[in-house]
Amino acid sequence: MSHTTEWKTRTYLFEEDGTTRVRVELDTGTNRLTGHGTARCNPMDKDVPEIGDELATARALEDLAAQLKQIARRDMAAVGAGPRPASLKPYGGGGWMDGPVDR
């Protein structure tokens, strides 16, 4: 089955007094999610705005990723394809897995 889609994202960065705040908005067509991240410059460190941008954006994307996983797990459960019990070995025949598969 072939499937192509486009998800739209917008990233907003706000910096004030050594603190960077980031909001990442994701529109999947069926869900609209917002991730948030913050980075603060230590007063003893040199203020390099790019570093704050990178850290705060990474944290916002991590927040967004956690939300997406939560939605995916909910959707998987709704169709009876939830995670396999830890007592069962992963299988190579496909299915939805969380993380790498040890074979």
**Is the pLDDT higher at 2 or at 92?**
2
Of 20-29, 32-41, 94-103, where does mean pLDDT reach its minimum?
Answer: 94-103
pLDDT digits (tens, 9 = 90+) for 31-64: 999 999 999 998 898 888 899 999 999 999 999 9
What is the pLDDT of the chain when averaged over all its residues? 86
Report the distance separating Cα 98 and Cα 45, nearest Å: 38
pLDDT of residue 81: 81
Widest CA span in the chain: 55
pLDDT of residue 64: 98
Half-sphere exposure of 17 toward its Cβ, with a 13 Å CA cutoff?
0
Band (101; pLDDT cuts 50, 70, 90) = very low
